[in-house]
Amino acid sequence: MGERAVFLDRDGTLVHPRHYPSRPEELCLYEGIDAELRRLQAAGFRLIVITNQGGLAHGYFTAADLDRMHAHLTDELARHGVRLDGIYYCPHHPEGSVAELSIACDCRKPQPGMLLRAAADFDLDLQRSWFVGDILDDIEAGKRAGCATILVDIGTESLPTATIREPHFVASDTTHALSIISTFERLGPVANLSYLPSSWQLREIAYAR
């Protein structure tokens, strides 16, 4: 049996959303998420970031810039006692301006390519793993890979129109999302599992796995 992982989107989930950040200081962790990350890490979960970085294809920043940003992110989490096991990013965008990166690919979310690559690298059991993200492309990628999924509600997403984009749970913020995982893995206090954003009240979307 493979290891378990919690996959985390970067912008809007692990750090505050920002339009194409290009400098390390622009990646600002959400306050208070470190305790839940430490709890999951202590329970044996790998913590892996899965992020689309189409800004590379658009020429907004370079791979070296991205490496500096991710080194900063890794260091900031380490200061809080959290170790990232990996950061996987997709540099592609079909409408980019950098020719070699302006392609359709199998790694850009909502495709599951990055999760499948991480699973191979770390011998992960995707059926026992979770994906936490703030947009429905994250949810689709997680479900295509076989993970349980949690949508962090930052107010940007409308009702999903296909089952593959319906999250198993919706959380009010990332700390809440991580506490839902802890609840189902019997690691801590019971979290609120019935949260729905006001725009979703007409449809019950939180499913027990």
Residues tagged active-site: 9, 11
Provide the edge-to-edge strand list for the sheet that holds 5-8.
Answer: 86-90, 46-52, 5-8, 130-133, 148-152, 169-171
* Helix, strand or coil, per DSSP, at residue 98: coil
CB half-sphere exposure, 124, CA atoms < 13 A: 29
Q: How far apart are CA 62 and CA 60, in angstroms?
A: 7
Of 111, 132, 110, 115, the C-alpha closest to 40 is 132
β-pair partners for 48: 7, 86
Q: How far apart are CA 131 and CA 98, in angstroms?
A: 30
Q: What secondary structure does DSSP assign to 41-66, as a single string?
A: HHTT-EEEEEEE-THHHHTSS-HHHH
